[in-house]
Amino acid sequence: MNNSTHPVLRSGLLLGLIALLGTALLAGVNELTHERIAEQEKRRILQQLNAILPVASYNNNLLEDVIEITDEASFHHPAPVTVYRARKDDQPVAVLMAVTAPDGYNGAIRLLAGFDHSGSVLGVRVVAHRETPGLGDPIEVEKSDWILSFMNKSLLDPQAEGWAVKRDGGQFDQFTGATISPRAVVKAVHNALVYFDANRQSLFDTSATNPERDNG
Partner 1 sequence: MAEQLKNILLDGAWRQNTGLVVLLGLCPLLAVTNTLINGLALGLATMLTLMVSNLSVSALRGLLRPEIRIPAFVLIIASVVTVIELLMHAYFYDLFRALGIFIPLIVTNCAIIGRAEAFASRHGPLPSLMDGFATGLGFCITLVLLGALRELTGQGTLLAGAEMLLGDWGNYLTLTIIPEHPGFLLAMLPPGAFFGLALLIAARNALQADKAGKPAQAVSNLSAENLVGNSHET
Label residue 90 exposed, middle or buried (CB < 10 Å: 0-12, 13-18, 19+): exposed
State the binding string over 124-143 for partner 1 (x if CB under 8 A, else -): ---------xxx--------
Binding range to partner 1, per CB under 8 A, among 22-30, 73-81, 83-91, 108-116: 22-30
Taking the complex as a whole, the smallest distance from the CB of residue 83 to partner 1 amounts, in Å, to 24
Among 36, 90, 159, 214, binds partner 1 (CB under 8 A): 36
Q: Which one among 5, 25, 78, 119 touches partner 1, defined by CB under 8 A?
A: 25
Kindly tell me which of 15 and 55 has the beta carbon lying closer to partner 1. Answer: 15
Could you give the CA distance from residue 126 to residue 178 in angstroms, rounded to a whole number? Answer: 16
Instruction: Establish if 51 lies at the interface with partner 1 (CB under 8 A).
Output: no
Tell the smallest beta-carbon distance from residue 25 to partner 1 (Å). Answer: 6
Residues that bind partner 1 (CB under 8 A): 1, 7, 10-12, 14-15, 18-19, 21-23, 25-26, 29-30, 33, 36-37, 40, 43-44, 133-135
